[in-house]
Structure formats: C-alpha cells, structure tokens
Amino acid sequence: MTQSTFIIIAIDGGAAAGKSSTSRGLSERYSLMHVDTGSFYRATTLKLMEAGIKPSNDSALEDGLASLKLGTMLSDNTASITIDNWVPDHSIRSQAVNDNVSHYAALPKLRSFLLDYQRSLADLARERGFDGLVMEGRDIGSVIFPDADLRLYLHADPAKRAQRRAKEGISDSIEKRDRIDSSRKAAPLQVPQGAILVDSSELSLDEVIEKVATMIDSIRSS
C-alpha cells in the first residue's frame, strides 16, 4: 500500500474507552475524515423522542424514520449528520438522551436506517480529498466496514471509563450501557473477529495515538 492510497480505519469500543479523542488525533495526523457514529444515534434518538415515538412502537418508528431527511455537514476534518437540516448540538448529550440512546440504538430498524448513510461517508471522504476515513462506534469493524484496512477495539477498565465520563459531566452507567449494547440482537457491541484490541486503561491519549500510528504507518508502507 502506498502513501497515497485511501485508508479506512474502524474504531469500536464502549463508552469513554477513548474512541473520539483517538479518532480526532489520528484524523489530524493523517488527514482523515473523522466520523463519530455515536452522535448519529444520539441525534436520531432525540428526534424520535421529540416526536413522541417510543422504542416499543414499531409502526410509529418505521413512519418516523421514513420522514427524516439525512444530510452531512463537514467542519474541518469532522463529518456530522444533519437531520431535516438540523445540526446536532449539545442537546444530544443531555441526560434524557444518555438514558435512552442504548434502547433506541438496539432497534434493528434504526440501525438499518443508518447503515447505508454511514457507509456512504467513505465516498464523501474520497470526494473531499481526504487521505482516508476514521470512523468510530460500536459496530464499525463488524458491520459497517468489516473489510476496513485497520480495525481496532478500544477497551479500558470500567472504573477508569467512569472517571473519564464524570469529567465530561455525564452520569450514565458504563457497565449498564455495555450490557445493553452487547446483548442487543442487531449489531451488538463486540470485538470484531480479527480486530486489534487496544487497552487504554493505563495509557495516555498520546500513547494510544502513537500505538495506533505505528500500525497505520506499517499498513501504508506495505
């Protein structure tokens, strides 16, 4: 693989495992378009909640999703979802969304609704002249891009992750979210077969980025 070859990096892991910070760091270092798919589920969850659509109401969910128009806004290296021309803001990090996002994200209809949109972002990255795409989430290496050039699963001790979450001002249960995300029938949170496990419990952000950078450099020089 040459330096100019487009590269796709898939980063999975639970909440506060370091996915976003690592992805942003790699994006800046390698001119990759950064995509945080967790924000997609948060934004869609908020829209469905605002419409009064509960996860248990299957028919209303299908109609509600069909009515949503998805778009993309690019800010620097980060691609964000837009829904009916609305650009998600801090409201997707509210306690109400924190408490409900895993329940909505477990719905096969919602995951199917976002699948093609997420995959299409690789084409957008190419069109915009990026050298690759780094996408983070919970099913990127297993479902969205199972053939990605590099598939990583970031892990950290639950206590460490809870501390990181608290620093962000978020008070959801890390272990509860992991249980919900890992046990859902559609695209469960798991270590994709063949993915590289990176434990960030005792590593600084810079150390994690350097560890992954070594892998990327190896791929690009092969």
Q: Structure pTM?
A: 0.87
Least confident of 29-43, 150-164, 200-214: 150-164
The domain that holds 11 is classified in CATH as 3.40.50.300
The residue segments making up the domain with residue 69 are 7-221
Q: Taking Cα atoms as reference points, which of 164, 144, 152 lies closest to residue 211? A: 152
pLDDT digits (tens, 9 = 90+) for 51-78: 999 999 999 999 999 999 999 999 999 9
Residue 1 lies in a domain: no
Number of domains in the chain: 1
Residue 36 lies in a domain: yes
Residue 114 lies in a domain: yes
Helix H or strand E segment including 155: strand 150-155
Residue 207 lies in a domain: yes
pLDDT digits (tens, 9 = 90+) for 135-175: 999 999 999 999 999 999 998 887 777 776 667 666 566 66
Residue 2 lies in a domain: no
Residue 77 lies in a domain: yes
- The CA distance from 25 to 216, in Å, is 13
